[in-house]
Structure formats: structure tokens, C-alpha cells
Amino acid sequence: MALLSSNLLFPLLMSSLDWLSTPGNGFFMARHDVTSPAPLEPHITECMSRDQVTFQCWWSPGNFHNLSSPGALRLFYIKIESPPSEWKECPEYVHSNRECFFDTDHTSIWVTYCTQLRALNNITYYNEEDCFRVENIVRPDPPVSLNWTLLNISRSGLNYDVMVNWEAPPSADVNTGWMRIEYEIQYTATNSTKWEAVEMQTQTQRTIYGLRTGTEYELHIRSRMPGFVRFGEFSDSIFIHVVKAPVKESTFPLTLVLVFGITGIIILVMTVVVFLQERLMMILLPPVPAPKIKGIDPELLKKGKLDELNFILSGGGIGSLPTYATDFYQDEPWVEFIEVDAEDAGTGEKEDTQRLLDVSQPVGHHMNTGFSNAVSFPDNDSGRASSYDPDLPDQDALLLMATLLPGQPEDGETSPEVVKTAPAPERLLIRTQTAGPQTWIHTDFYAQVSNVMPTGGVVLSPGQQLRSQESTSGTEEGTQKGKEHKGSEDSEEEKEKEEQFQLLVVDPEGGRQASESDAPQMFAPPSSPMPGEGYQTIPPQLAETQPAARAGDNQSPYILPDPPQSQVFARVADYTVVQELNSQHSLLLNPPPRESPPACRPQHPLKALPAMPVGYITPDLLGSLSP
């Protein structure tokens, strides 16, 4: 056990001695081989130069403690030069450190030195590898005056940059160019063990980016000769610490501004809302156009009041509707009603269509205003706020309006001139040449637009027989017998369709109603519905082929009927009851009653309908129609 302990103690003692032998030298690694165990014989520990002008060598006695006393070992060196020299003893001993110091005179750069240790008894301990050149053993001193300055702090206050400054070590002669030094900075956060190395540089300042506030950093620096491998010692550490500063002041005015701004905006908005509530409501929530028929109380148009509506529409009730309507619109001075001369109702002298189409016939003043009414639709609770702009319809529309409205003058003037009207300054749109109030002859309100000219004009087809109104039944005459003739005549023409569409001009006045009371005329239902087609128009040629001279003036946008001739065409009714939908979802209007008595026409869609003098179907009834 004693042996064991001594075995343990001995290496311990050895290592401690080793450590003691070179107190001044911080480097224990041998120059060439760090990993080999320390040799037991006396050896040179290290030779080092700081300034490339002088150098020192340290030795250790190794295991030979008897040689540890100062002077027991002597150091000899030799310079390998062209005139071969001899071994010389160390020029200057520093025995306390076991150091040999070579001053300027004894130092030669770029010359190989070899050293050896000799004991007093001339035993030489010599290692062949202990040869060196002074420039290879240079370890420059660490830089001095190391300090740092804060460059900036990031906006978030979390990071900052510093500038680190230092000076070259005074021992290294940089000014004359004798030594060139490059530096290496290393820094770490104090709570971390990993050092961060900045790349080598020859400048004496460096910016370090991205340090975190609140963290303390330790930084030190060391020097080296560029092109060589040995570093000098690290300098003393400096500590970098930046505390995150509260930056309330800079944001204070900003928050204040924000608060005031938001308050102001809220007040403004409230003011706007309160004072301009009405207009705002108008802008934001425009009124929805309600169903409206002039002269009829909108209340009646609501669901469930069909009977009353029908009653009114059929002309019953308290007096004629015009008056009713007049009363209804009493307070609205701009409403004027087109008066229809009831005497002429039923006279087929002049077909309504003719009158309708006879644009040259002067239109009464009433019509003017009526026109204006018709065109302007100045109803408050209608969709006025919508985009309908009544003020300036274009000319062709005006003409169309002119044709559609009844009110051919009785004199039957059929000058085929087209009444071109200049756009009226106000709402009066059409002025006619004739003088004198014209009485409205009951004419058919509707005419079918058979074609639209490329110039924009509209071609009406007056060929249909305008049936006067005595059919009060909802079904009509739509006989189109003539139409069918026509159709057969023009069967070669493609457009047999007979699905007519109705052009509705809603009048505010009684003229309309009057015609209603007379029973509307209806266009003939399709005799042979064309599959897959919706509404088609009858081509103008169709009108052309009608017998009798049709003063088809091609220049005019409409076809003027030949006034004196009686139309032998089938009556075209104003309204048509939608009977059913065919397989192609086309609306089948009333079938021609004469030719083929529509006995086989299923009438079941109408079962649910009350007896209606007019073909008025509410939307919910429409749904009950089945193809």
C-alpha cells in the first residue's frame, strides 16, 4: 500500500515540479508535439519572441530534480550560418525563471538557432527538433487600450451595435514596418461558455453587430503576425453591457395624438350620423321600389288582395278609375292624365294601331305632359332613387313612346312624316305639329315591336288585328286567323314564332284604364310555338306582305299602317294569359281560339285563377303553372 501511495505521489510530485519549473511561461506545449508526454530529461520548454528583436528560451530540468537548482543546467546555442559557428552559451540568464534571454546583438532573424542544455558534468541534453528561426517564434503582445463605444440601438431596443477600439502593442514596431500584426477578437455572453471569434484583421477597430441588450458580454483580443501561426496572449477582458432604456417619452406624444385623433373621428362620425340621418339612410339604404300601378293604392298590391285589385283594374268600384286616380294623385300637380275619348272606343274606323303608329298625328298637349309623366315616372316611393334617368331619353326612345301611346288624332292625318322632336328643355318631349287638342281615340295601347333597325329605330308590326275590347274574359281572341294566314303566307319565312312580347307603357292615366275597361286587346297566342325559342318578332316583311297598301316607309323607323284600310288581320290582344309552359319552358300564351278551338288546350293552369277580365297574374300564381 505504501508502494501504491508512493506510486501515486511520485507522478503528482513530478507534475507539480514541472509546473513550478516554468512559472513565467504560460505555454506548456512543446513546439512540435503537444501530445507526446513530457520528456523526463531536461529540455527546453519554449522559446519565444515578442518583438522580433529579442527572444527568450525557457527550460525545465524534467525529472532530474538534482539539476533544478539554478546554474545546474546551462543553455547553449548555435547559429547555423554560412561561416559555420560554434556553440555559445546563453548571453543572459534569468535563473529565477529558468530563462535565457537573447538581446538584440545576439538575435538574428532569418537564421536558424539550435539550443541545448548541458549539465555541469558536460552531459548534454539535446533535442534535434529544438531548432528554430526567430521570425517563426514571434508571439506579439496583446493590444492595449481596448475600449468600446455604443454605436446605435435598434428601434425595438433589443439589439445594439458597438465599436471596439484598441491600439497595437507598444512592443511591436509597426511604424517602421518591421512587424505587421493582425488581430483576433473573441467575445462571449458572460453566462455562456462559447466564445465567438471575429475574423482576423489588421485594422485597429471593429464594429460588432447584433448584441442583445440586457446581456453582459466579455471581450478580449489577441495578436499574431500574418503568415505565421503563433498567437500572442489574450488581452484583459472588457465587459460590454447595455441596459434597455425605457423609451416612454418618445412614444408619449404619439399615443396622445392617436387618442385625440380617434376621439375626433368618432365625434365627427357621430355628428354626421345624427344630423344627416335621413340623407344617410337614403344613401345607404335606398328605398326599394314597391310594386306600383298608377292609380292603384299600393296597399292593394300586397299579397292577398287580389280580388280588390282585379275589381279596380276591371274598372269597377267607385267610379271610373281615372277619377279615382285623379283623386289619388290630387296633390301631385305634375300628374296629368291623358284623356281618352271614350266615344271612339270601339270604333274600328281607325284602328288603334294606326293611330298608335301614326306619329305624324299631333299629339295633344296632354300627351306632352302625359309623356312627361310617362317618361318621368316621378313617383316618390317608386324606385326613383334608382338609376332611372328620366330627363333625357334619346330620340329614338321618344319616337317609340310616341308610337306606343294612343291618341291618334281623329282627323286621321297620316302624314308620314316622322315627328322629330328636339329635345325639350324640360320634360316635354314631343311636340307635334298639329294644333288643337286631340282627343284620344281609343286605340290599342300596344303594338308589337317587330324589329329593331340598325339605326336604332323600331319597327312595329301593325299587322295584328287590334281587337276592340269587348272580350272581358281573360282569354282572348287573339285570333290570329289573319295572323295565321300571314303566318302561312310567310311560312317560308322563318319567323313564325308568334310568341309576342308585350311592350308595356305604364300610363298614369285613365286612358289606359279605359282601354282596359274595353277589354284589352291581346295578341294572338302562338299557334305553333317554336321550340326552344322565346319571344320572337315578326319581321317587317311580314307586315309588308299584308294586303292592302301598307305605307311602309322604310326611312321612318316604324311602319305606318295604311289608314283607310281595314285590317283584316287577326286581332292582337293587349294581354295574353300565360297558359302554360311548354317543354322548352317557353310561355305559351292563349292559343288561337277560332281555328282550333282550344278545347284540348288544357286550362288547368287557370283553374286556380278567379275569373279575371284581364290577364293579370301574380307571381305566386305563376309558380303554379306547369309545363
Partner 1 sequence: MINILFHLFFPTALRPVSCVWVVWVCLFFCNRLTMVGAAPICANAQAGQLCHVLSLANLFDRVIQHSARTHGISNNLHTEFEQYFLPSKNHIGRVSRNCHTSSILTPNGKDNAQRMTREELTEVILKLLLAWRDPLWHFHQSMAHHHDFNKFSSNKTLEMSNMVHELHRGVEKVAEKMQVLGIISNTVSNLASPEALLASDSSEWRLMRNYDLLYCFRRDSNKVQNYLKILKCRIVPEHGC
Binding site for partner 1 (CB under 8 A): 32, 52-53, 80-82, 104, 107-112, 114, 128-129, 131, 133, 135, 173-178, 180, 226-228
- Rounded least distance, CB 76 to partner 1, Å: 15
User: Which residue from 98, 123, 118 is spatially nearest to 17, judged by alpha carbons?
Assistant: 98
> What is the per-residue burial (b if ≥16 Cβ within 10 Å, else e) of 396-433?
eebbbbbbbbbbbbbeeebeeebbebeebeebbbbbbe
Contacts with 84 (C-beta within 8 Å, 6 or more apart), sequence order:
none
Q: In terms of CB distance, is 84 or 246 closer to partner 1?
A: 84
Q: In terms of CB distance, is 177 or 253 closer to partner 1?
A: 177
Q: In terms of CB distance, is 84 or 333 closer to partner 1?
A: 84
In the sheet with 99-102, reading across from the earlier edge strand, the strands are 43-48, 55-60, 99-102, 93-94
User: Which residue from 518, 501, 502, 500 is spatially nearest to 510, judged by alpha carbons?
Assistant: 518
> Which element (helix H / strand E) includes 281?
helix 277-284
Q: In terms of CB distance, is 129 or 470 closer to partner 1?
A: 129
- Rounded least distance, CB 110 to partner 1, Å: 5
- Rounded least distance, CB 138 to partner 1, Å: 11
Instruction: Please state, in angstroms and rounded to a whole number, the distance separating the CA atoms of residues 478 and 249.
Output: 89
Instruction: Please state, in angstroms and rounded to a whole number, the distance separating the CA atoms of residues 143 and 542.
Output: 112
Is the backbone of residue 122 left (phi > 0), alpha (psi -120 to 50) or beta?
A: left
Q: In terms of CB distance, is 156 or 175 closer to partner 1?
A: 175
Cell 527550460, located at residue = 59
Q: In terms of CB distance, is 109 or 144 closer to partner 1?
A: 109
Identify the DSSP state of 141: P
Cell 533535442, located at residue = 127
Instruction: Please state, in angstroms and rounded to a whole number, the distance separating the CA atoms of residues 447 and 357.
Output: 8
- Rounded least distance, CB 131 to partner 1, Å: 5
What beta strand segments (E) does 134-247 contain?
Answer: 144-153, 159-167, 182-189, 196-197, 205-212, 216-224, 238-241
C-alpha distance across the termini of the chain, in Å = 119
Q: In terms of CB distance, is 30 or 543 closer to partner 1?
A: 30
Q: In terms of CB distance, is 52 or 372 closer to partner 1?
A: 52
Instruction: Please state, in angstroms and rounded to a whole number, the distance separating the CA atoms of residues 49 and 191.
Output: 35
- DSSP helix/strand/coil, 372: helix
Distance of CA 338 to the CA centre of its chain: 53
- Rounded least distance, CB 11 to partner 1, Å: 27
Q: In terms of CB distance, is 36 or 191 closer to partner 1?
A: 36
- Rounded least distance, CB 36 to partner 1, Å: 12
What's the grid cell of residue 432? 307635334
Q: In terms of CB distance, is 44 or 460 closer to partner 1?
A: 44
- Rounded least distance, CB 104 to partner 1, Å: 7
The angle formed by the CA atoms of residues 328, 334 and 339, to the nearest 5 degrees, is 70
What's the grid cell of residue 286? 335606398
- Rounded least distance, CB 111 to partner 1, Å: 6
Q: In terms of CB distance, is 89 or 129 closer to partner 1?
A: 129
- Rounded least distance, CB 88 to partner 1, Å: 16
- Rounded least distance, CB 237 to partner 1, Å: 28
- Rounded least distance, CB 75 to partner 1, Å: 18
Cβ-based burial of 275 (10 A; exposed 0-12, middle 13-18, buried ≥19): exposed
